[in-house]
Amino acid sequence: MKKTLYILVIGILLISCGGGLGSSEQNLAHLYQDGGLGIQPSIQVAHEKIDSSLIRIQLDRNQLLYIREADQDTFRSEVRVSYSLYSNYQNMLLLDSGSTSIIDRKLSTETGFIQSSVGFLRPEGLTEAFLRLNIKDIQRNFDLSFDYPIRNQDLQDQQYFELSELDGKLLFQPWVKSGESYRVNYLLDENTKLFVRYYDREFPIAIPPYAENKNEPFLFKEDSLFIVSSSDTLQFQKTGIYHFQLDTASTSGFSLFNFGSSFPYVSEIEQLAPPMRYLTTRGEHEEMIETNSRDSLKLLADRFWIRSAGSEERAQNVLQEFYGRVENSNERFTSYIEGWKTDRGIIYTIYGPPSQVFRSDEGESWVYGDRNSDLNYAFNFYKINNPFSNNDYALARYTYYRYGWGQAVGAWRNGRSYGVKDIKREQDARDAQNRQQRQSPAFWY
């Protein structure tokens, strides 16, 4: 848990509906677990040339196993990165493959991130492809395999840009902070001029999974437009969307988001009320958002959590779990809106990390508890073609989610954090009841 202050779709989306998602067989749930033993890499693809690219990898030292080197004060880790580039999922034509090893040495107390890269060849004009990546912690003998899309519809796609600090350190997340300085580099021409469209928009939060989603059309007319170059020192003082383009005649480009100086963490009193909308009644929420006093908001939020939990100590534990999930959602699911506001964010915040996660080119499938239970908790998220973000997913919504949602929100309102263990207990009870009914003798009168 990060140090946090506690007391307390848009119309351009192209959504597919239907049944389950075809997906790879590997369970990727550990990517969404907090404090797990698996690797959770950050990946970027950078098209440095017309016919070649880099896979950039950032690893957290805390997630790797280090072994002390003989007669040394240093510890050593090794990660093996292998890739295969395929043209598309239909014909699976192999275009390139390769691997590299990332070896890191450190003293026992050193933490932080390590960054590395491996290059691959990309046929000129290729517009549809994906990378199949395998990242293995050699010391732990743990590996992770997943697919990563190659976006190359035109020469101003996101993968032709990079964000860095002034000292050249690459940044792997698309959000920026007011008052800090950055550089945005267009990889094919470091001297080119870039148009920046700025959007000051407020988007609604996700609605419960059983409710029908009614998206409002997104208006691409920017609130302001300015020009920069790659050599410029950039600051983003206002919250909103900054969309970098070579040509404003299209919608594609590279987007950065300013969600406030503390993002992705919840550290201001004003940030406490919005996520509580998932748990509060309309009246409770309106009372919180209409107050114009920080002290009053804190009092209302405190009152909600203490009344729910029954004591300050229990309330503290429950709200730490709740806002911890909000922060994790921000780090994992942020797209053009904060992660907690997204469809994946609302499910993660209320139900917690899923038991199983499967990915495909179409999206992600999440399973909670036993996927074969009569009481099914499975969610399909379909990947959205969004010019502002490659991390946008929409939930396939169904009315039968209402029961599970009511159980989960009811638990939170009664002062209990809700998660897989609660779901599994409900599933076991339902399955046992159904077995008993099926085994009971049938009489005809």
Say if 367 falls within a structural domain. yes
The predicted structure's pLDDT at residue 8: 30
Say if 331 falls within a structural domain. yes
For the chain, the distance separating the N- and C-terminal CA atoms, rounded to the nearest angstrom, is 62
pLDDT digits (tens, 9 = 90+) for 189-219: 988 999 999 999 999 999 999 998 877 777 8
Tokens for 9, please give them.
């779709």
CA-CA distances (angstroms) from residue 168 to 105, 327, 335? 22, 27, 24
Say if 123 falls within a structural domain. no
- Residues facing residue 254 across a β-bridge: 244
Say if 353 falls within a structural domain. yes
Query: CA 127, CA 380: separation in Å to the nearest integer?
Result: 26
Say if 394 falls within a structural domain. yes
Tokens for 334, please give them.
């942020």
Say if 275 falls within a structural domain. yes
Residue type, 187: L
Residue type, 147: D
Say if 170 falls within a structural domain. yes
Number of domain units in the chain:
1
- What's the gap between Cα 416 and its chain centre? 25
Per-residue burial over 30-66, b if 16 or more Cβ lie within 10 Å, else e, is bbbbeeeebbbbeebbbbbeeeebbbbbbbeeebbbb
pLDDT digits (tens, 9 = 90+) for 35-54: 666 788 999 999 999 999 99
- The residue range of the domain holding 342 is 156-437
The predicted structure's pLDDT at residue 24: 55
Say if 213 falls within a structural domain. yes
Banded pLDDT at 443 (limits 50, 70, 90): low
Q: Is a pLDDT exceeding 60 seen at residue 14? A: no
Helix (H, G, I), strand (E, B) or coil at 244: strand
Helix (H) or strand (E) holding 120: strand 113-121
Banded pLDDT at 91 (limits 50, 70, 90): confident
